[in-house]
Amino acid sequence: MKLRAKFNLAIILAMAVGYGGAGLLLYNLSISNARQEVLENARVMMSAANAVQAYTDQQVVPITGLEQNGSFVTAAVPFYAAKTAFKSLHAQFPAYSLAEVAINPTNKEDTPTDWQADFITEFRNTPGATEQVGERDTPTGAVLDLAQPISVSDPSCLACHSTPAVAPASMIAKYGSDNGFGWTLGEIVGAQIVSVPLDLPLARAHAAFETFMAILAVVFVVVLLILNLLLHFIVIRPLVKVSTIANAVSLGQPAEEYVKPGSDEVSSLSASFNRMRRSLDSAMRMLTP
């Protein structure tokens, strides 16, 4: 195997290892960053929902109360207010959604699906947990779910959810007395879940990754070409020249002197060879009668 082939083989192997390692690292990093970006968006949505609930509880309920003219004021329920506020977002972006579900909800529309119930069960089995993150596939693509527990932290909640006897009559008239009761202080009764699509951020991450890898491949090819040119002009061509002269000398044929300009190792080799050649010529003349 010639010097150029050995050199190229070593460089290609080194570049292949570097290319593969860089690709693996960058791929994991880009996908992780995409998921982190989606998670941060979900946290912003969750904070917005909590802000709507806090506003309703602190500003609306003291003015309207939960009953007016014998009717239950649904708009004064913080959870209902947050879900209603997010309906317009969901209408424009169907993949974005907010759900507030409970194991024993007052409104049967808030009954959890199987995957939502899993979040509630995990919160109940992990006291002190404040957040859960999950991913699932939907007909519209991959979705990231961010869940926070809903617990009975305020004794005022028990005015509506302890027993039907103490609940507002208007609420009983609207939702019935079979659901949404028996809650206890400190109990985790449900989960607030924000769902954000993953497909677009992941697609962008993949596109950025592919672009970077293509650019890196072009850079490697250019570097390989430059190294080959340097190898040819600095090493291989001078060595071939010296080898040709040495072969001619060994056969007793006339050959011109060659000294590579410069101060590198190949230049030193060519100069040393010429000195050796001159010494050999002198020795041969001395031996010739």
The C-alpha torsion from 37 through 40 and 42 to 43, rounded to 10°, is 180
Taking a C-beta distance cutoff of 8 angstroms, is the pair 41, 250 a contact? no
* 262, pLDDT greater than 90: no
Structure confidence by residue, pLDDT tens digits, 81-131: 888 888 877 888 888 889 899 988 888 888 999 999 999 999 999 988 999
Q: H/E element holding 132? A: strand 132-138
pLDDT for the residue numbered 250:
67
Q: Tally the residues of the chain.
A: 289
Confidence (pLDDT) at 240: 77
Residues 101, 111 contacting (CB under 8 angstroms): yes
Domain range list for the chain = 3-13+206-287, 40-198
Distance CA 107, CA 88 (A): 21
Q: Please, what CATH class does the domain formed by 40-198 belong to?
A: alpha beta
